[in-house]
Structure 1
């Protein structure tokens, strides 16, 4: 919370090393650009107790991303589940410099390799991001992949709103060229 971003990122690996004696099942993996260059490309982690409680959660995993603010503007990929009391339960995290097919593949493979041993079939919910759609079918072979209704609803609203604007612009067009231009956008 205080200090520079550089200092905070330098402390991250030492923070993980301080957590490890308390949580020996902590999984942490960091990918760097090279052995000499200690700048990370991405790092994955989840806390050990999650493996034990994962069996008690509903068999629905939600995967999504968010953009971190600040100087470096990384992307945070997350998996969450819902417990029986309808509370959000974060499972695993990956911080990466950008959302790419490589980062999604790495994240989903790390998640699967650590959480798959429980012989439970589950549903994966995500937005309709093509990077996620392709990776889910490759990494999770026997899961049902559904799309988030919230994202679909927002896409429909945006599409309908832009279509309504285009229809109004076409109706108010003063020339055939403008009318055709607006109708072609619909």
Structure 2
């Protein structure tokens, strides 16, 4: 097989009709601008687009450079931290300024810590810190996306929470001692002890009851007995006095 004809007009990539449609992924773009963002906190979307064009000859879609800039533009004071290793995403911490100020000004000194699976192709983990407002409503405070729920990631997350509350001009000073509620996972326990040593660390009643029921079954009790005992324990957990 040999080349017989030379076609000088290209219709692919940045040379033809697709020139404005970037082949660069969001991951690649993020890896290229991460170092620049650390040095230039005021980096604009247009700056990112121009840098990608001049450095790599890539015309990126506006939306790919939009997210972090819009977070800071619409919620000045928000905290967005992207951690990458060798150009690979590792973890993301995010808390909107409206949530930070709302928690400090209008929520009880109470934070629920929990983790759950993100049902996507990357099988990520979402860690969250949630408050409780004066209307008995759930109040989102901060989120953290990572690869697994372990002590290292819980410490990274709680260090971020500590920064939001105390590394500020007017540090968080609630009228009552801060209470943090979790399933008492060993990673959470270690993180709370390190970054919030003065806070009460309480067990989530729902997790406690489920673990209790499982233990009852392990001890040989029938399922209906374990369920009844669990219901009694849950009832006790919501009483306010010893006599009740």
Q: TM > 0.5 between the two? A: yes
Aligned to 1:42: 91
Structure number with higher strand proportion: 1
Moved over 6 A (4+): 6-13
CA-CA distance at 1:131 after TM superposition: 0.7
Q: CA deviation at 1:7?
A: 6.2
Q: Report the CA distance shift for 1:7/1:86 in structure 2 as closer, same or farther (over 3 A).
A: farther
- Unmatched 5+ stretches in structure 2: 1-23, 31-62, 223-244
Larger radius of gyration: 2
Separation in structure 2 between the aligned mates of residue 89 and residue 158 of structure 1, nearest angstrom: 31
> How many angstroms apart in 2 are the aligned matches of 1:32 and 1:115?
25
Q: CA deviation at 1:14?
A: 3.3
TM-score, normalising length: structure 2? 0.60
- Once structures 1 and 2 are overlaid, which stretch shifts more, 12-21 or 61-70? 12-21
Please state if 1:152 is matched with 2:201.
no
Secondary structure at 1:107 match in 2: helix
Q: Could you report, residue by residue, the CA deviation over 1:76-122 in whole angstroms, capped at 9, with x for unpaired residues?
A: 01000100110000100000011121111010001111113111231
Which one scores higher on RCO, CA 8 angstroms, separation ≥ 6?
Answer: 1
Preserved contact between residue 152 and residue 187 of structure 2 (Cα < 8 Å)? no
- Distance apart, 1:18 and its partner CA: 2.3
Q: Structure 1: which 5+ runs fail to align?
A: 1-5, 167-186
Q: Is 1:134 aligned with 2:190?
A: yes
Could you tell me the TM-score, scaled by structure 1's length? 0.78
The CA RMSD over aligned residues, in Å, is 2.2
Q: 1:53–1:61: structure 2 CA closer, same or farther, 3 Å change rule? A: same
Moved more, 92-101 or 13-22: 13-22
